[in-house]
Structure 1
Amino acid sequence: MTASQSEETSTRAGRSGPLWTGIAGILAGGLLIFGHILTWRTPDVEDDDAIREVVTFYSKDSNQALSETGALVLLAAGLAFLCFLPVLVRAAGSRSTVALAGGTVFVVLLMVSAISGNIYGVTANHADAFQVVPETALIAILLLDVAYGGLIGAMVGAAVLLLAIWRTTRGTEVVAVLPSWLTWAALVVGVLCLAGPFSAWLTPMLLAVWLVAAGVVVLLKRS
C-alpha cells in the first residue's frame, strides 16, 4: 500500500468515526424519549386503587405488548448511549474517569429500570400460566417501584457525567469536543438530575434532548 493510499484510508476512518458516534448520540436520545413516553403509560402505583389499576392495565394484550416494546427500546437506548459515551468522556478532559463512571452507572441502572419496570407485562404476554390477578399485581407494584428507584439512580449517574463535562469548561480542552453552550446546558440538566424522586419522571427527557443536540454537533463537525 502506497503512502497516499494509507493516508486516504486513515482520512476515511477519521470521517466515519464522528459520523457513527454522532448517529449513536442522536439514536440514544431519540430512543430514550420514545421509551420514556411508553413508561409514562404505566399505572400510578401510589393510588389507593393501585391494584385494580394494575390488573386493568396489564389484562390488555396491547399493554402487555407495549411493555415488551418499552423494555426493548430502553435497552437499545442504553446500547446506543454506550457507543456515544467515548465522545462524552473525551469532552470531560482530565475528569474523564469520573465521566466514565457516571456514564456507566447511568447505562447499568437504566437497563435495570427498563427490565424491572416491564418484566411483569412481558411475562404476562408470553407465559400462559402467569395470570394477571390482584395477587400477582402486588409483584407489579413492587417492580414498578424498583424501576423508578433504578431510574433515580441512573439520573444521578447522568448528573455526574454532565457535571464533569461542565466543570472542564474552565479549561480549554473541552472546546475541541463540545461547544460551550452545550456544556452549560449540561450543567442545567445535571443539576436537575440531582433532584432525585422529584425530577426523575422528567429528567430522562431533558437528558435525551441534550444527547440529540450533542449528536448533531458531532455530525456537524464532520462536515
Structure 2
Amino acid sequence: MLHGTREAAIMASQSAQTPYASHPEPAPHRDLWPGIAGLVAGVLLIVGHILWLNTPDTDGRGALGEVVSFYRKDSNQALAETSALLLLAAGLLFMFFLVALSRLAGNRSHLVLVGGTVFTAFLLLAAIAGNVFAITLNTSDVFRVGPQTALIAILLLDVAYAAEIAAMAGAAVLLFAVWRVARESRAVPGWLGWFGFVVAVLSLAGPFSAWATPLLLGLWIVAAGVVLILNARVAQRDEGPEPATARGTA
C-alpha cells in the first residue's frame, strides 16, 4: 500500500512538471541579442581604438612637446573623450556577447569566460587611463596642459598601452579555446576558429603588436556576432511557428 502511494506521488509530480518541460526556452531568443551585442561591440572596439591611436608618440625626444601640442587642441580632447566612451560601451556589450560565446565552447567554456573577463577588465583600464588626462582637461577649469602636467599624460598613456597588452593576452586565451572547439566540433565554424588562432598568435607578440591586434580582434568579434545571429535565425526558421494549442495552454 505504501509502495503504491509513493508511485502515485511520483507520477503526480511528473505530470505537474510536464507543462513547463514542454515549453523550453528556444535557442534563437538566447543567441540573437548576444550576437547583436557582439556585432556592435566589435564595431565600437574598432572605432574607439582608431581614435585612441591618434594620441602622440611617447618614446621620442620630442614627446613632451608633442603631448603638450596635442592636448591643447579642444578637438583632440573631444576625440579622446569619445574614444573612452566607445571603448567602455564595447567592453560592457562584449560581456553580454561572451556568455553566449561560452555556451558554444562546451567543456572549454571556463577558458572562454576567464580569457574574456581578463580582456574586458584591462580594456576598461586602458580606456580610462589612456583618456582620463584629456577628459580632465575638457571638464576642468583649473587643470591646464604644460610641460609638468604633460609628464602625467605620458605616464597614463604608457599605463594604457601596458593594459592593452594584458587585455590581448586574455583575448589570446579566449581565441585559442575557440580554435580548439572549432577543430573538435561543429559548434564554431572552422574559418572563425582559424581567424581567431591567427589573432591569438599575433597577440603573443605583446608590445610589438598591441597597437594593431585590438583592431583584428574587433573584426573577429564582428564575425562571431554575425555567426551567432545567423545561427539564431536558422534555428528560429527550423523551429517553425509555435503551435496554436501550445499558445492556448501557455
In the alignment, is the contact (CA less than 8 A) between 2:182 and 2:193 conserved in 1? yes
Letter in 2 for 1:179: P
Asked whether the 8 Å contact 2:129–2:160 carries over to 1, the reply is yes
Find out whether 1:112 has 2:122 as its counterpart: no
Deviation readout 1:71-126 (Å, 9 max, x if unpaired): 11000000011010012222332122122111110000000000000000000001
Cα distance change on mapping 1:170 and 1:213 into 2, 3 Å: closer
Instruction: Give the conservation status (yes or no) of the 8 Å contact 1:99–1:161.
Output: yes
Give the letter aligned to residue 143 of structure 2: F
Question: Which of the numbers 90, 94, 98 marks the counterpart of 2:111?
Answer: 98
Q: Which amino acid aligns with 1:180?
A: G
CA contact (8 A) 2:30 2:100 kept: no
Count residues in correspondence. 215
Return the alpha-carbon distance in structure 2 between the equivalents of residues 18 and 91 of structure 1: 10
Match of 2:28 in 1: 15
1:196 to 198, 201, 206: 206
Distance 1:170 1:21 in 2: 23
Which of 152, 172, 175 is the aligned partner of 1:139? 152
Partner of 1:217: 227
Q: Would you say 1:35 and 2:45 are equivalent positions?
A: no
TM-score, structure 2 normalization: 0.82
Q: Percent identity?
A: 57
Deviations 1:48-88 (A, max 9, x none): 11111111111111111111111110000000110100122
Counterpart-to-counterpart distance in 1, 2:191 and 2:32:
21
Residue 184 (structure 1) aligned to one of 186, 194, 206: 194
SS at match of 1:130: coil
Asked if 1:169 is matched to 2:196, the reply is no
Question: 2:138, 2:45 → 1: CA distance?
Answer: 23
For residue 60 of structure 2, give the secondary structure of its aligned residue in structure 1: coil
The one-letter amino acid of 2:218's match is A
Aligned residue type for 2:169:
V
Q: Mind listing any 5+ residue stretches in structure 2 that lack a counterpart? A: 1-18, 234-250
Q: Structure 1 unaligned segments of length 5 or more: list them.
A: none
Structure 1: distance between partners of 2:228 and 2:33: 9
Shift of 1:182: 0.7
4+ residue runs over 4 A deviation: none
**1:151 correspondence with 2:161:** no
How far apart, in 2, do the equivalents of 1:26 and 1:170 lie? 23
